[in-house]
Amino acid sequence: MAQTEKARPLCLVTGASGYVGGRLVPELLRAGYAVRCLVRTPRKLRDQPWAEQVETAQGDVTERGDVERALEGVDVAYYLVHALGSGSDFEETDRRAARAFGEAARLAGVGRIVYLGGLTPAGVPESVLSPHLRSRAEVGRRLLRSGVPTAVLRAAVVIGSGSASFEMLRYLTERLPVMVTPNWVGVRVQPIAVRDVLRYLVGCALLPPDVSRAFDVGGPDILTYREMMQGYAEVARLPRRVIVPVPVLTPKLSSYWVGLVTPVPASIAKPLTESLRHPVVCEEHDIARYVPDPPGGRIGFVHSVELALRRVREADVATRWSSASTPGAPSDPLPSDPGWSGGSLYTDRRARRTSASSAALWQVIEGVGGENGWYSFPLAWSVRGFLDRLVGGVGLRRGRRDPERLRVGDSLDFWRVEEVDAGRLLRLRAEMRVPGLAWLELRVAQDRSGQTVYAQQAVFHPHGLAGHAYWWAVWPFHGAVFGGMARNIVDAAERADHRRR
């Protein structure tokens, strides 16, 4: 780190590859802080526009040694991680990680911890709260007991382009002009714009040392979820929605309903819907004593939706709810050694020469997925995505963060971008529910004569007998799916090249 940077206060950001963390980092840099990011997979940050301005520490918050090394010399530590979706014991994992993080921060002499938690309903016993909210509250308490001055920001529904709450609201409203809904659509909520969340997070770095407490943070509006849907419809210039609440949809059934209608899978929709069983309204606005409201006031719900929709329409979404790894998704790198010792590997390889230029071919490759689809057998891809959502997977609806450009760590329908070598290679790792690990590689190459070659490889590492059975069950469809994909990608590149000429 340069000498001039050493004089700058150093902030550690955990969860920098996630939705809020990925947006907080550039805000801290703009505010003049030096930033260190603690991430399990550093390459996920490689293509971020701010990647070269930060220090990266590889590690996991559940590993004490990793945390201790990451906290060396840190002035302010942002705790933006949770273990939701990691298993039935995620509450205990969260509890242990928070306790260890707080202890390590105290021993390292960290001046402040800042944690973004969830707003819990007033007067409701913690025992009846959703596991998600209960765990968030417990993490906040653990950090407050650490002996390090701590600010716990408690927020309800965060509205911003790409947030899970916004995507759920957006797709429910846009896709269902008439809907039968759970009773929680009548529960009062105090949403907050992601810009205000970031403003509070950055501002908390300057809190006086004697301030160690929780703060409720929210926007200026208190609305029911029904009013939020109607408000979204008005901003998006949609007809007023017909909303009929019924008492029979439990939070679990609601999560599957949300999972089928929106891009948010049931595993993420469940904690969101469970959190709406009780009113979540701020009891105080004490944060304004230390981080004053801007001259124009906090961002209201309507304006926050306008800002989010503008970002979506301009394809300028910095991070999305799917920026963070999907809970339970595989993380193993592609086994490139032909003699890989990890067990059986099944591969499907395709290659086609083309008259298209390498640039034209790469443009098509980098544009796969989302609105452009997968260039083969659309019904098969749609059915596979639907089946994935039925079993709680992410399905195809996550789409793309950007319609033209991909970066490492991006979600792409039910894939995750594992590697991008511009002009040469796109490697995707599957995050759909399969009995094994799966990757898809798309390459631009040249033969000895200099002609452009499209090379495609699907790799599957089966887990157990079910994995082998799965491969052979779908193998008959590979010709139509993977063969058609190779053929149609090449055809699209040749057409694009012809138009340019």
Structure tokens that stand for 297 in this block: 């006031």
| Candidate ranges 122-126, 391-395, 493-497; pick with highest mean pLDDT | 493-497
pLDDT, the chain, mean = 84
Distance, CA of 199 to CA of 152 (rounded, Å): 14
CB atoms closer than 10 angstroms to residue 494:
18
% of the chain residues with pLDDT over 90: 42
Give the pLDDT of residue 327: 45
* Helix segments in 77-163, DSSP class H: 90-107, 131-144
DSSP 291-335: SPPPTT-SPPHHHHHHHHHHHHHTT--S--GGGSPPTT---PPP-
> pTM of whole model > 0.75?
no
Distance, CA of 21 to CA of 10 (rounded, Å): 15
| Residue 11 · residue 35 · CB < 8 Å | yes
Q: Which residues, in sequence order, are CB contacts of 130 under 8 Å at separation 6+?
A: 251, 271, 274, 275, 277
The pLDDT tens digits of the residues spanning 284-319 come to 999 999 999 999 999 999 999 999 888 877 666 666
Name residue, tokens 């990757």. Answer: 439
Pairing of strands 76-79, 55-58: unpaired
For CA atoms 351, 356, 362, 365, give the dihedral sign: negative
Give the pLDDT of residue 1: 42
E-strand stretches of 355-448: 411-412, 415-421, 425-430, 436-446
Give the pLDDT of residue 251: 60
Distance, CA of 214 to CA of 284 (rounded, Å): 10
99 Rama class: left (phi>0) / alpha (psi -120 to 50) / beta: alpha
The pLDDT tens digits of the residues spanning 406-432 come to 988 888 888 888 888 889 999 998 888
Distance, CA of 250 to CA of 274 (rounded, Å): 9
CB atoms closer than 10 angstroms to residue 31:
13
| pLDDT at residue 493 is higher than 50 | yes
Q: Which amino acid is at 220?
A: P
Distance, CA of 32 to CA of 298 (rounded, Å): 23
% of the chain residues with pLDDT over 70: 86
**Any idea what the Cα angle at residue 388 is, between residues 386 and 394, rounded to 5°?**
100
Q: DSSP secondary-structure letter at 127?
A: G
The pLDDT tens digits of the residues spanning 384-412 come to 887 877 777 777 777 888 888 898 888 88
Q: Regarding predicted confidence, which is higher, 61 or 269?
A: 61
Distance, CA of 276 to CA of 157 (rounded, Å): 9
Mean pLDDT lowest among 74-83, 262-271, 456-465: 262-271
Confidence tier at 331 by pLDDT (50, 70, 90): very low
Q: Regarding predicted confidence, which is higher, 82 or 213?
A: 213
Give the pLDDT of residue 340: 39
Give the pLDDT of residue 336: 45
Q: Which amino acid is at 1?
A: M
